[in-house]
Amino acid sequence: MEDGVTVDEKEAVRIIRHAIDSGVNYVDTAYPYHQGTSEIVVGKALGDGYRDKVFLADKSPIWKLEKESDFDSILEEQLQKLQTDHIDFYLLHALNKERFEKIKNLHLIDHMLEARKAGKIRYLGFSFHDDLEVFKQIVDYTDQWDFCQIQYNYINRAYQAGDEGLAYAAEKGLAVIIMEPLLGGRLANLSEHVAEVFSKDKTSVEHALDFLWDKKEVSLLLSGMGTEQQVEDNLVYAGRSAVGMLTAEEKKQYEKAKEIYDKMSMVDCTGCAYCMPCPFGLNIPELFKAYNTYGPEGKDGMKREYEKQQVRSDSCRSCHRCEKVCPQNIKISEQMKKIAELMK
């Protein structure tokens, strides 16, 4: 399911079950997804015997924890919402330097170990959004991690954990799960300048996923799917995938594509919508999407997209609410000022 705001529950349950019937065996959710409704819908989708066919992943919302016992009460709430007695892969969600301090202060590894002893979770992990140095510190903090989840794709190779973090975690024996393989969908909709670098026998999505499946350090990748067609496509691509599948020539294409992409991109927004809703009505990911058309399409192209927005970036009041939750650490209010200036 996409991480938008509303969920068509019946359709989501149908698509999830169809995916499982077709061989998908890992389902990932989190406390804040779809404003708290994702876990409930996943719980319903995994009824009628589907729970036993998958590994279920969920995450502890560290930013909500104020005291140690909050970890346990939120885990209980999640088990209830998911209608299950255990979560297979349990992650401390979206760790960065500040949240890492919190997991130390609140002794959250101990709480995870207790929860594992009680059979409520099976594998311990964390998802990550900060720089490489912090990533290594977290990996090295305990030998209890079973896995980690990082943002990684052929554009983000030196961003956050990146190439080096992937190799580091794998070498330390952690399974590595990849999120944002399509950079919030942006690698599915490439501008023609980037797309022309790649061979035409695969779609942009398949190129992006193959980059990851090729790597022996990658254990699993998570790709948000909002339609049945996306499920079908991904099943076909996964069926063709293998470690070491790329030729030297293909590997060069990714480097070239990144070079062009980086030149054109204005802001690293993945469209995850964690920052929404904005109290002043801005559609932050859509405004950034418009901003990112500036590189390939120039000011006129950007203006066409920008003017589709009812609330424009000059309505930003710099309240910084959105910046506290943006996993890409984007200085959103500053960017809104730049956009407003450009669109004057």
**Residues that bind ligand SF4 in the complex, under the rule CB under 6 A:** 269-275, 278-280, 282, 284-285, 288, 316-322, 326, 328, 330, 332-333, 336
Mind giving me the DSSP string for 74-91?
HHHHHHHHHT-S-EEEEE
CA separation for the pair 72, 60 (Å, rounded): 10
Mind giving me the DSSP string for 159-170?
STTHHHHHHHHH
Cβ proximity to ligand SF4: between 65 and 332 the closer is 332
Cβ proximity to ligand SF4: between 240 and 331 the closer is 331
Cβ proximity to ligand SF4: between 188 and 273 the closer is 273
**Which residues does residue 221 pair with via DSSP β-bridges, in sequence order?**
178
Residue with token string 């691509």: 237
Q: Which amino acid is at 97?
A: K
Cβ proximity to ligand SF4: between 152 and 198 the closer is 152
Shortest approach of ligand SF4 to residue 165 CB, angstroms? 19
Shortest approach of ligand SF4 to residue 66 CB, angstroms? 22
Cβ proximity to ligand SF4: between 1 and 326 the closer is 326
- How many of the other CB atoms lie within 10 Å of CB of 328? 20
Shortest approach of ligand SF4 to residue 99 CB, angstroms? 15
The Cα-based distances of 271 to 44, 76, 224, 264 in angstroms read: 26, 30, 12, 17
Shortest approach of ligand SF4 to residue 91 CB, angstroms? 18
Element (H, E) at 173: none
Shortest approach of ligand SF4 to residue 156 CB, angstroms? 12
φ/ψ (deg, to 5) at 84 = -140, 165
